[in-house]
Structure 1
């Protein structure tokens, strides 16, 4: 059965879904997006993703196309129509499709383009990778300076993923001025002497929704959290490491640039945080 996607007010088979060749998302990467996980047919951290979406739109001076309740209804409809038990819902909003290509923003009143689609991921919460951990490499961070806005400008992160694959690793952590910023699609953490260390919020990194939840759960569990930049050398000398994202939740890292961390297996802190996050998120899912 073909997936049902949402495009500008219509639910369509994916083969029939179209956007204009003049859409600014296609021409200028002038758009934002969010990814919401689905576990057991319910949405994880939806309110947090909606609030970040509002922030991203505001930072780019783009009008919000719908209220929270409307977007929630669309998300739920796609879960039902596509029979998603575990999976992901991608939402992308662009500045729309004016009559022609122009660097200047389109006239006020131009309708934004709104697209949502699903990906079915059976067993999303029981990832085999989480049991064995992943390997990362470090690469130079050459992205634009407003990484706190979740835009569709994802070319360099995509290239970073391919650099990692070519090196026999799973992902890449980006480094700027000697300091780790974040992963290609995730927030980065190390653990040293029981202390969780992750970069503080700023324009250099995405304000992760999963990051916020995991740090809250860590503090509630009486774990020590230090929000500050760390170097790639610190990371290689750490007892353990992990990353967080909406689709991977908490993912242990067992190797950085060919250097094994700890015993070379997922550490106790990352493993426990993954358990807590999944347990609490399932309880709060809507």
Structure 2
């Protein structure tokens, strides 16, 4: 069957879906997005994703395109129409369509909304987790407001491409002090030799990942030792374990950073236990 997308009030064939050439998301990256995992016919952590969407929109002074309840219903319709049982649903809101000008358009300009969904094979993620993935490090070159989930992702695109060319899954941005900030599309974690889980604080400099928050909940429930602080590339190389988190990867073990093998070169026990627990702790809502 053909994929279906929601574009500004209409459900259309994905292959024919289009936005106006003066959509501000296209011309200025003036918009935000969210991605929710679909797992066994359930939307994962929808409430938290919509909370973050609303925050991102507030930070950019963009109106919600509709009520939260209406948006939630459209999410479900898109998932159903695409028959997605395991996969992702993507939503993007921009400031809308207006004559090209850097300043905001008239206040009555309606925000633009696009929602798509696609299946993802769970077996592929499990296979990657069994082997672990590699990351490379790149200099931090993004704007200061990466806490807003905007569609302005060119530095991330370039970093992810560099990782692919190096045979790695992800690129970790490293600030001027040699500290890891986050990945191109993930949050970064390590487990120290004394079994302390470490990740950078989310007050500034990184996106406050939803999967990251679920992992924090798991850590609290399991009574694990945790330290929310920056860690250096060298500390990561010396770590017992490392992993990345995102809606698209869940908890994914990292077994190599640049040319350094992490731990024994295999996915760590703590990392794999967190991955196993993830859907038992995350919020699941029916499609």
Task: Find the aligned partners of 2:94 and 2:126 in 1 and give their Cα distance.
Answer: 32
**Per-residue deviation, 1:167:** 1.7
CA contact (8 A) 2:82 2:118 kept: no
Task: Find the aligned partners of 1:56 and 1:107 in 2 and give their Cα distance.
Answer: 20
Answer yes or no: is 1:262 the counterpart of 2:263: yes
Moved more, 192-201 or 126-135: 126-135
CA contact (8 A) 1:137 1:164 kept: yes
CA contact (8 A) 2:42 2:284 kept: no
Task: Find the aligned partners of 1:114 and 1:221 in 2 and give their Cα distance.
Answer: 39
CA contact (8 A) 1:39 1:124 kept: no
Partner SS, residue 54 of structure 2: helix
Answer yes or no: is 1:138 the counterpart of 2:137: yes
Task: Find the aligned partners of 2:124 and 2:222 in 1 and give their Cα distance.
Answer: 21
CA contact (8 A) 1:32 1:94 kept: yes
- Which residue is equivalent to 1:240? 241
**Per-residue deviation, 1:19:** 0.9
Distance 1:124-1:59 versus aligned 2 partners, 3 A rule:
farther
When the two structures are aligned, how many residues end up with a matched partner?
284
**Per-residue deviation, 1:65:** 1.0
**Per-residue deviation, 1:134:** 0.3
Partner SS, residue 74 of structure 1: helix
CA contact (8 A) 1:189 1:197 kept: yes
Please, what TM-score do these two structures have when normalized by structure 1? 0.97
CA contact (8 A) 2:31 2:92 kept: yes
- Which residue is equivalent to 1:227? 228
- Which residue is equivalent to 2:3? 3
- Pairing 1:173-192 to 2, within 5 Å after superposition: 173-177=172-176, 178-192=178-192
Which string of whole-angstrom CA distances, capped at 9 and with x for unpartnered residues, describes residues 97-156 of structure 1?
Answer: 01x210111010101110000111132685211111000010001001000000001111
- Which residue is equivalent to 2:278? 277
- Which residue is equivalent to 1:211? 212
Task: Find the aligned partners of 1:285 and 1:144 in 2 and give their Cα distance.
Answer: 34
Moved more, 163-172 or 264-273: 163-172
**Per-residue deviation, 1:48:** 0.2
CA contact (8 A) 2:217 2:281 kept: no
Partner SS, residue 73 of structure 1: helix
Aligned CA-pair RMSD: 1.2
Answer yes or no: is 1:252 the counterpart of 2:242: no
- Which residue is equivalent to 2:24? 24
- Pairing 1:12-51 to 2, within 5 Å after superposition: 12-51=12-51
Which string of whole-angstrom CA distances, capped at 9 and with x for unpartnered residues, describes residues 158-203 of structure 1?
Answer: 1111111222222110000211000000000000111000001122
Which string of whole-angstrom CA distances, capped at 9 and with x for unpartnered residues, describes residues 51-95 of structure 1?
Answer: 000000000011111222111111111111111010001100000
- Which residue is equivalent to 1:158? 157
- Which residue is equivalent to 1:128? 127
Moved more, 39-48 or 160-169: 160-169
